[in-house]
Structure 1
């Protein structure tokens, strides 16, 4: 995953240890608010810029 510039839903699921429906709901909410990280929606596909997500995740620790 280190060479990717964006994460997809499956990546987010693995990183957060959540299920598919929970990941989609979380990303949809983040997309609407553009918080706590940026989310790009292309049709029905969600893409999350790696840097934005990683920065958010690092702040949680």
Structure 2
């Protein structure tokens, strides 16, 4: 079951947030963020996603 209450998440998400929101496993979450379907930012080895960008993607809006 997807949990899409935006306010409980920080403005910048990490892969574990994506995993929780979508209810998917860690491997699937990493595959998704590396798929190029939405903009991510790499900070060293860490991957960050704008909450707005992610939820717009999730809701089917184009960037």
Distance in 1 (CA, whole Å) between partners of 2:18 and 2:35 is 14
TM-score (normalizing by structure 1): 0.74
Q: Are residues 1:16 and 2:17 paired?
A: no
Which is helix-richer, 1 or 2?
1
User: How many residue pairs are counted as aligned between the two chains?
Assistant: 55
Q: Are residues 1:25 and 2:31 paired?
A: yes
Q: Which segments of structure 1 move beyond 2 Å, counting only runs of 4 or more?
A: none
TM-superposed CA distance for 1:44, in Å, is 1.3
* Structure 2 residue ranges without an equivalent (≥5): 1-5
Matching residue of 2:42: 41
Distance in 2 (CA, whole Å) between partners of 1:28 and 1:53 is 13
